[in-house]
Structure 1
Amino acid sequence: MKKTAIALAAIAAVGMGTASAQDYQMEAGVGYTHISPDVGSSDNAFDVDFTYYLDRVATANKPLAEAAFLSQASGITVGYANVDKADVDTIGISGEFYFDQLYIAAGYAAADFSGIDVDTLSARVGWMLQDGLRVAAGIDRVDVDVPGSSASNDIVLEGKYVADLGGGTAFNAEATITFLDQADDTVFAIGGDYYLNPALSFGAGLSFADDKKSDGTNWNLRARYFVTPVISVQAEYFTANDGDDDAFRLSAALRF
């Protein structure tokens, strides 16, 4: 179960010059994750995803990885992930929509954990306080198909800010607070990415629970580079449960 959790976290859920801007409307991605838990054998995960935007996404004068967010692009994403030895399959669909400053998002994911079905429904409502700054609140409803279990309704608060630092550099900051229903706990997550230029970024993330007895500290490091304006590669390292479990992920994406 530990290696399954870190795999899903890794999936959920990419000589350095700059890439020229090129607008796009679709993006397809593929990823591979190697999981090394403290207990049990290592495992491998594979994931694919596809996003269609309702309008073409403008990339000029923006970090390429943040173009959709900064353009307030509405779109729909579908994805599939498989964890080999743990025998976990997940399929999901989600959508993000902007109506001027109003932001609305929803998603559904169905996972099969070796015969145990887990369904997750999510919804968010947010507001663009200014260009590059969004706050949102919502709920994640998790239903585990086990006799005697009841659905968990977790409240989520989140924010995202992308700042233009000038000279082609930028910084992305994200934060999430999740109030867990059944665990009666609170999980905090923060992350950031520094863009050396529109094509190259380095980032890190950290998450931890208010009650340290119920969850350890999880963190990750990542780097993403656009080899061309439409092709990107990403490497990520994850560690969970206070460093007992870790994973390494490689992914690539194509825009068109």
Structure 2
Amino acid sequence: MKTLTKIALLTALTSTQAFAAQDNPFQHQAGIAYSANSEEVSDGIWNANYRYYVSPVDQANSPYALNGFLAQTTNFGAHYSNFDAADAENYGVDGTYVFASKWFIGANYHKSEVGNFDVDTYGAHFGFYFNETSEVAAFYNDGEDGVEESYGLLARSYLPLASTSGVNLRAAWTHFDSDDLFNVGADWYVTDSWVVGAGYHYSDDDDGFDVRTAYWLRLSDSFSANFAVAKVVDSDYDGVDMSVGVIGRF
């Protein structure tokens, strides 16, 4: 993690394009990130991901972290993660097809390997973009023996503001077996790069709040770094969750 942070900061200081990003449209996004808790920084998770958008994505008029969501276009992606402390690996693919009517449908497949134990999971979702910055969707997930099926609803809306970038609102309900999980959250984008937010989750046997902030550092038109921290507001949860990553767009 320290090495990755140094690389991002050094690039920011030495790149001749660090302050000349033109925010050109992109169709490919690839990234790698490391996330951990401050109590066990060395026992973190590496994640790599790639996504292709069928139509060019505008990144000049909205928060950088939300460009893909606000593009409302067909896309396909793949991801891989590694967690050495648990001898665990996870990888998968997903895709969403967006119709001209702004209805969309998608599917995903994931495989998890923990030690000598493998689990395959799959899911589907469909929904509708009811304006240029909002969506509603339903989803279903299941898997092999031992994986509980789940289904639910999701609503999300970005509200642009005059003096700052805007606010992203999100709410979700998920049903697992005989339990229901509710999540709500709000993220205020002070600028297109900097966001602060909070969330709340509730289920039959647990509930809690979290606060978070993140910064998207534009280094050039094709390269950025991302830094994030989050804290669960609970006396039983130690430390602060942190992540640092690099993102390429072209």
Normalization by structure 2: what TM-score? Answer: 0.80
Shift of 1:130: 1.4
- Quick check: 1:90–1:110 contact (8 Å CA) kept in 2? yes
| Structure 2 residue 49 is the aligned partner of structure 1 residue 55 | no
Shift of 1:97: 2.1
Q: Relative to 1, partners in 2 of residues 1:186 and 1:232: Cα closer, same or farther, differing over 3 Å?
A: same
| Structure 2 residue 164 is the aligned partner of structure 1 residue 173 | no
Q: Relative to 1, partners in 2 of residues 1:243 and 1:42: Cα closer, same or farther, differing over 3 Å?
A: farther
Map of 1:1-256 to 2, 5 A cutoff?
20-35=22-37, 43-100=43-100, 101-144=102-145, 149=146, 151-167=147-163, 169-181=165-177, 184-209=178-203, 211-212=204-205, 215=206, 217=208, 219-228=210-219, 229-230=221-222, 231-239=224-232, 243-244=236-237, 246=239, 247-256=241-250
- Quick check: 2:198–2:209 contact (8 Å CA) kept in 1? no
For structure 2, list consecutive stretches of 5 or more residues without a partner in the other structure: 1-18
Q: Relative to 1, partners in 2 of residues 1:36 and 1:169: Cα closer, same or farther, differing over 3 Å?
A: closer
For structure 1, list consecutive stretches of 5 or more residues without a partner in the other structure: 1-16
- Quick check: 1:36–1:43 contact (8 Å CA) kept in 2? no
- Between stretches 55-64 and 44-53, larger displacement belongs to 55-64
Shift of 1:65: 1.8
**Runs of 4+ more than 6 Å apart:** none
| Whole-Å separation in 1 of the counterparts to 2:93 and 2:235 | 31
- Quick check: 2:194–2:214 contact (8 Å CA) kept in 1? yes
The residue type paired with residue 202 of structure 1 is V
| Whole-Å separation in 2 of the counterparts to 1:65 and 1:72 | 14
1:43 is paired with a residue of what secondary structure? coil
1:66 is paired with a residue of what secondary structure? helix
Aligned length: 228
Identity over aligned pairs, percent:
26
